[in-house]
Amino acid sequence: MSADASFFQWVAFIWEQNWPLFLRGAGNTILIALTGTIIGFLIGIVIGIIRTIPVDHNTSLLKRIILKIADVLLLCYIEVFRGTPMMVQAMVIFYGIAMIYGIHLNPIPAGIVIVSINTGAYMAEIVRGGILSIDKGQFEAAHAIGMTHAQTMSSIILPQAIRNILPATSNEFVINIKDTCVLSVISISELFFNSKSAAGANFRYFETFLITCIIYLIMTFTITRILRWFEKKLDGPSVYTIHGSQTVPEAEIRIVDGGKLHV
């Protein structure tokens, strides 16, 4: 590459030289972010459910004590992992386990663990908020027909709460895609780490990281579109069918939201 090559020639050159490195990095970033978000989401759901278990006059003393202890422990978990940077958590966990137990974790599984528990701490509060946002009447109606708390949660409340927290969840996913770059401190070969390697070979930081930037943007943009589509799918059709009319019993009338009639 000659010294007077233009900016775009440099960008093209770096991509040609390093595209497998970029793609591998992007692949690892997606792998860690996706797995971490899913596991974190599940952690959040479990904690959110535990922290919203109602305590009333019927609750036995033992159950009250267990719930109280669980609540304190979970609150500690949430506060610690929300209150410290993920980069620092990565250092502490990765090197801490190596020092105390003599176990050298593989970087990628270690990265997944860190992202998962970090996301879990955020999701726990998001899920709790999602559950609390459901109208009290939904609980009352379910209890009034004799459903237990567990049945109410699984059939009525969680489906609505999860739908409501999906936007926040896709937010977390996007944040995770971007924030996995801090895991480069424990030498995980994700996109940022690999970009640094690429840039180190040619000292063209701006051109290299411009490519990195575009790859991040493509990933986050694609992910948000996919999740938006998923949300719409969960909302179900905006059309429903009326079965039979008073004059023609076998007629099917399609009603579209907003009152437009399609016969």
Partner 1 sequence: MSNILEIKHLRKTFGTNEVLKDINFSVSKGEVVCIIGASGSGKSTLLRCINLLEYPTSGEILYHGQNILELNVSNAVYRAKMGMVFQQFNLFNNLTVLDNCVVGQVKVLKRDKKTARKIAMEYLDLVGMSQFINAKPHQISGGQKQRVAIARALSMEPEALLFDEPTSALDPEMVGEVLKVMKNLAQSGLTMLVVTHEMGFARDVANRVVFMDEGVIVEEDVPEVIFNNPRNERTRTFLKRILEKE
Q: Does 103 bind partner 1 (CB under 8 A)?
A: no
Q: Does 141 bind partner 1 (CB under 8 A)?
A: yes
Q: Does 167 bind partner 1 (CB under 8 A)?
A: no
In DSSP terms, which residues pair with 107 in a beta bridge? none
Q: Is 93 helix (H, G, I), strand (E, B) or coil?
A: helix
214 Ramachandran zone, left/alpha/beta (phi>0; psi -120 to 50): alpha
Q: Does 144 bind partner 1 (CB under 8 A)?
A: yes
Out of 61, 145, 261, 263, the only residue in the binding site for partner 1 (CB under 8 A) is 145
Residue partners of 14: CB distance under 8 A and separation at least 6: 198, 202, 204, 207, 208, 211
Out of 7, 229, 230, 240, the only residue in the binding site for partner 1 (CB under 8 A) is 240
Cα–Cα distance for residue pair 133/175, rounded to 1 Å: 24
Residue 38 C-beta: closest distance to partner 1, Å:
22
Beta-strand runs (E) in 26-163: none
DSSP at 4: T
- Of 74-82, 153-161, 196-204, 211-219, which part binds partner 1 (CB under 8 A)? 153-161
Residue 146 C-beta: closest distance to partner 1, Å:
3
Interstrand relation of 239-243 and 252-256 (parallel, antiparallel or unpaired) = antiparallel
* Residues lying near partner 1 in the complex (CB under 8 A): 56-58, 135, 137-138, 140-148, 151, 155-156, 159-160, 163, 236, 240-245, 255, 257
